[in-house]
Structure formats: C-alpha cells, structure tokens
Structure 1
Amino acid sequence: MSLVLRGPADVLAVNPVIPVVVIDDARHAVPLARALLRGGIRIIEITLRTSVALSAIERVASEVPEMVIGAGTVITPEQAVAVQRAGARFIVTPGTTPRLLDFVLDSGVPLLAGASTVTEMMQLAEKGLNAMKFFPAEVCGGRAYLSAVAGPFPELRFCPTGGISAANAADYLALANVGCVGGSWLTPKATILAEDWDKIEHFARQAALLNR
C-alpha cells in the first residue's frame, strides 16, 4: 500500500533513516529499492548527481510503487519539473533560492528544503515549512547546533544529512527535534556496483531498527 505524503513532516515520519543514493547505472535502481524494502526501509532519495538519476527515479516509481521515491540535489525549477515527471513523490534541496522555493511549493509536491542557518530556518518556517533538512549537518555544528535551535524554535523538525553514519545516527535521532536522518551508509557505492543486494538489505534492517 502506497503511503500518502501531505507535506515534509510526512516524509520525516516514514522511517528513521532516508537512504541518500547515488546511482551510476539505472539498472541498479529497482533491485536496490527492493533490497531496501526487504530490510524495512520504505523511502529512498535518489540524488541528481549522475546522468542516469532521472531514469533511476522513473524505474523505481514504475516498478516498485510501494517505495516512497524522492529526488535529491534539486537546485533549479527545471529540475523540479523533471523529477516530478519521472515520478518523484517528494523533493529534497540542499538549500533554497526564493524562485526555487516558491516554484516547488506551488507545485504541491512535498518539499524537504535544506537549511543550515537560523535565518534560513526562519525563512522556511515563514513559508509554512516546519519540517526541513539540516545540511551539511556535521560541519555546521551537528547535534549541538540542533539542540541549541530547539530552544527558540521548538516547533521545527529536522532531517540532518551530511556526515551522518551508522556510528552517529542514533545520537541524532535521540534529539527531540530530529524526525529522521539522511545518509549514504546504507547504500555504499562499491556495494551497489557489486550488486550485493543482500548486504544492502542487511544495512536497511539495522537502520529500520533505530529508535527516534
């Protein structure tokens, strides 16, 4: 059964971890998504960092409909249009310009917009976005930063990405204002290229068990 996403808060609620995936061969997208599902992860963010990313999103959307497929590293309105046509059910941006933010919000697709400063967080909140991406998390202050902003902004919820790993994911998830984390450790490039889907499933099972 397909999950209904009404906004970014619903994106944060699917699983404790959103796998952030770089696909170099579109043929890998479907078996990768199925391996994550077998491990209990029902959401995936395929980043627009390779020439086959749109094809990968389209394949997952078409062949693995139970997977909540999102597109990451979206930085222009034109890319936002392309990923929606490919079947992306949510959009992730590393940051936002006014043009990009207004365009995606007008489209109605749930947006997980990136923010790294208090001002950016306030600007997104003014647009009605109380759930957002904190990026790049580790180099921008990590857990200490998120703990500090919880005081003046108790209503904001975050998905920290950038430097999140199996070693520190649980520490982030222990924060009251963290809904989930994003990370690439579930889908290492070498493991994907080796088509070791059992290992991907194993990483997914471990991630699905994390508390938040």
Structure 2
Amino acid sequence: MADADIDVVAVVLRTQASIDALIAIKKALPEMKVGAGTITSPETLKQALDAKADCIVTPAISESLIKHLSGLTIPVLPGISTTSDLLLATEHGYTEVKLFPASLSGGPSFIQAMSSLFPQVSFCPTGGVKQQNKENHLSLSNCFAVGGTWISTKVWVEQKQWHNITEACKHANS
C-alpha cells in the first residue's frame, strides 16, 4: 500500500493478530497513519489506544460507545447506517462519519439524500464498495473517501502477492 502512495490505512481489530499487525505497520512505516477499525467496545478501544492507533473507526455507534470516544485527542470516524445514527453522531459533534454497510444502507442514494438534511456531514462509505462502484460514491460532494477490501484480498495476503495489492491501490487512486 505504501508503494502505491497510500498513507492512511485502517486495520480491523477482530483478532489479536490485528493488534500485532497495527503495531508492526506503525514500526515498519512510521510515516503511515494507521487507524484501528471495528471498535465496538471499551476493551477494543483500549487495545487500539495502547497500540498507538492514529485514528479510531467504528462500524456503529451507541450512547455508551460514543461516551468512551468523546474526549479522545485522535480523530474518530463513527459508523452509522441510519438517520437516527447520523443524528446521534452530529449531536456529539461529529461531521465526518463512516456509512456501514454502505451497500445495505442505501449507498450513494442515502449519502445524497442526507446532503440536504445534514449539510455539514461528509461520508466515508464502506461495506459493498468496490472498484466498479467507488466513483458512484466519490462523485458526491459529501463523500470524502471510500473504503473497501478489493485492494487487499485475503488470497493475495495468504499467497503473499504484495504486487497485486500495490497495483490495486494504484488503480484505486486513479
């Protein structure tokens, strides 16, 4: 990813290996901003902070989780999938949110519809975003980025096909 000039990545924290990967990336590539994703509890948040994550990304929000996120000095991208979630996020001062799962939550149509209700909010859709449909999202003025697993498939990682990941990242940036 770094070879393709990607300077921000999010590691989903679903196993201990994910924490180890976050730490290893930060050590090997100190200029890379490494976020911790899939933060769903105070415990995973603590693990991410202990691993020195540069930002926090959640797949969803709740009153309880948002209380733990408030006051952090690093950026937070709370996950939303409904207008109620979006209202909760904005009530806590968030103006950038993750739409997840985008493909099941309305995708570009939802993002576009929210532009008049929440003009101060920008979106980063993930979940169902692919190379073939990323421009449908990115063409919207209130969409600042997209996330997707197409740039790093499980098979490529298992088979150490790093060049495929680099090429997919280059293509995603074009």
What TM-score comes out, normalization by structure 2 length? 0.96
Q: Which amino acid aligns with 1:143?
A: P
Q: How far apart in 1 are the matches of 2:88 and 2:69? A: 15
Q: Residue 140 in 1 paired to residue 102 in 2?
A: no
Query: Any gaps of 5 or more consecutive residues in structure 1?
Result: 1-35
CA offsets, 1:67-104, max 9 Å, x none? 11011111001211111111211111111122211212
Contact kept? 1:131, 1:158, Cα under 8 Å: yes
CA offsets, 1:18-70, max 9 Å, x none? xxxxxxxxxxxxxxxxxx01112111111112330111111111221111101
Aligned to 2:93: 128
Q: How does 1:141-180 map to 2 (within 5 A)?
A: 141-180=106-145
Other structure's SS at 2:132 match = coil
Aligned to 1:20: none
> 1:140 Cα deviation (Å)?
1.1
Q: Residue 93 in 1 paired to residue 58 in 2?
A: yes
Q: How far apart in 2 are the matches of 1:40 and 1:150? A: 30
Q: How far apart in 2 are the matches of 1:190 and 1:109? A: 32
Contact kept? 1:46, 1:57, Cα under 8 Å: yes
Aligned to 2:19: 54
> 1:141 Cα deviation (Å)?
1.1
> 1:144 Cα deviation (Å)?
1.0
Q: Which amino acid aligns with 1:189?
A: K
> 1:206 Cα deviation (Å)?
0.9
Contact kept? 1:77, 1:99, Cα under 8 Å: no
> 1:127 Cα deviation (Å)?
0.9
Aligned residues: 174
Aligned to 1:114: 79
Other structure's SS at 1:182 match = coil
Q: How far apart in 2 are the matches of 1:128 and 1:96? A: 13
More moved, 58-67 vs 128-137: 58-67
Q: How far apart in 2 are the matches of 1:176 and 1:46? A: 26
Q: How far apart in 2 are the matches of 1:98 and 1:153? A: 20
| Greater relative CO (CA pairs within 8 A, separation 6+) | 1
Identity of aligned residues (%): 32
> 1:142 Cα deviation (Å)?
1.1
RMSD: 1.0
Contact kept? 1:61, 1:86, Cα under 8 Å: no
Q: How does 1:12-51 map to 2 (within 5 A)?
A: 36-51=1-16
What TM-score comes out, normalization by structure 1 length? 0.79
